[in-house]
Amino acid sequence: MPLTRRRLVLVNGWFLQQPTTGSGQYLTALLREFSALQTEVRLRTLVPLPTALAGSWTPPPDLPNGMEFLPVPLPPGPDPLAKVWWEQAALPLQCLRHRAAVLWNPYWSAPVWSPVPVAVTVHDVVPLLRPEYRQHPRQRAYLILNLLGLRKARAVITVSQAGAETLHRHVPEFRGEVAVALNGASSGPAAPPDPARIHELRSTYGLPERFFLYLGGFERRKNVAAILKAYRRYLNLGGDPAIKLVLAGRLPARDTAVLQHPAPLIRNLALDGQVLLTDRVDEAVKWDLYRMSLAFLFPGLAEGFGLPVAEAMQAGTPVVTSCY
């Protein structure tokens, strides 16, 4: 895809403020790697922020110095509306203002109109595969906007070959270039946690001596319910009750069509005392949990890549996953 004008690529930095999400990790890692390249292409990441924070924002400390970041104030209003305004109006206008050559959206979002070519990373097309993601009229409207924008994008990056095939199957109208660029897992800390660190983690989170691990979100498509039922069956068949189950990840505030809090099912399966909910953990703790666990469980029903599987393997932990 030819780059023109100043060879300036504007980057949609919406997920830069959400570094523990898959899209946030992807963006942060790519920005870090790009900074080490010798290239004429310049990246300038636009970071949408509430007006009160935009003036005092500083880049995350784990990103190299010298990268270009520009805080952009968001208008007041609910997050969903602000996000649509950002993606469909603010970004195209910023492209004009900065005389950009290309706009890159590192997640599935693309403006219906843009003054410059648009490249989009499509991690998955879950909203097309799972009906719970399009039950509400607002969800359907947002999906239609993204489909229209995707059809007009100049190029699409998918993170797996399966993702590219799924995209072609469900969005046959797309005629742009599709490039498959596989995700990679960072290695995390070079050494496993030492005894002092393990003691600290056990004290902080109440971790058992031995445990199976799930780490991720609590969308219904993550199939955490199957993990709990399988663990209940494991115990019923004589499995060692000293081996607990740890579920790590940000817990939903309430159940929705998309999200499911695991606590009610834990009670229904009489697993109180056997299952530990840590809530969200930071990056360092994540890698420690991988290395401390006996096995990592990830039976997802719809994934674009499944980065936690690659991370657990990178940590040397056995993985039990699904094939759908």
How many domains in the chain?
2
Q: Are residues 31 and 144 in the same domain?
A: yes
The SS3 of residue 216 is coil
The answer to whether 71 and 57 have CB atoms below 8 angstroms apart is yes
What is the extent of the structural domain holding 273? 195-321
Burial of 197 by CB count in 10 Å (0-12 exposed, 13-18 middle, 19+ buried)?
A: middle
- Assigned domain for 186 exists: no
Q: Phi and psi (nearest 5°) for 197?
A: -65, -45
Q: Are residues 112 and 158 in the same domain?
A: yes
- Assigned domain for 190 exists: no
- Assigned domain for 167 exists: yes
The pLDDT of residue 4 is 47
Q: Are residues 206 and 106 in the same domain?
A: no
- Assigned domain for 2 exists: no
Q: What percent of the chain clears pLDDT 90, i.e. is strictly above it? A: 74
Question: What is the value of pTM for the model shown?
Answer: 0.88
Query: What's the CA gap between 161 and 270, in Å, rounded?
Result: 41
- Assigned domain for 3 exists: no
Query: What's the CA gap between 33 and 10, in Å, rounded?
Result: 16
Residue of higher predicted confidence among 93 and 189: 93
CATH number, domain at 200? 3.40.50.2000
For residue 275, pLDDT beyond 60: yes
The pLDDT of residue 6 is 53
Domain boundary residue among 180, 205, 238? Answer: 180
Whole-angstrom CA distances from 65 to 58, 60, 204 are 11, 10, 33
- Assigned domain for 144 exists: yes
Q: Are residues 19 and 73 in the same domain?
A: yes
Average pLDDT, the chain: 92
The pLDDT of residue 122 is 96
Q: Are residues 232 and 124 in the same domain?
A: no
User: Taking CA 166 as the corner, what is the angle to CA 175 and CA 32, rounded to the nearest 5 degrees?
Assistant: 85
> Sorting pLDDT into bands at 50, 70 and 90, what band is 3?
very low
Q: Are residues 161 and 31 in the same domain?
A: yes
Q: Are residues 20 and 167 in the same domain?
A: yes
Q: Are residues 152 and 205 in the same domain?
A: no
Q: Are residues 12 and 119 in the same domain?
A: yes
Whole-angstrom CA distances from 213 to 31, 43, 207, 287, 303 are 29, 37, 11, 12, 18
- Assigned domain for 100 exists: yes
Q: Are residues 77 and 138 in the same domain?
A: yes
Domain boundary residue among 156, 180, 204? Answer: 180
Q: Length of the chain, please?
A: 324
Q: Are residues 82 and 59 in the same domain?
A: yes
**Average pLDDT estimate for 223-239:** 98
The pLDDT of residue 324 is 64
Q: Are residues 16 and 163 in the same domain?
A: yes
> Sorting pLDDT into bands at 50, 70 and 90, what band is 190?
low
- Assigned domain for 189 exists: no
User: Could you read off the pLDDT of 43-72 as tens digits, one per residue?
Assistant: 999 999 998 888 889 888 888 888 899 999
Q: What percent of the chain clears pLDDT 70, i.e. is strictly above it? A: 97
Between strands 42-50 and 8-12, the pairing is parallel
> Sorting pLDDT into bands at 50, 70 and 90, what band is 171?
confident
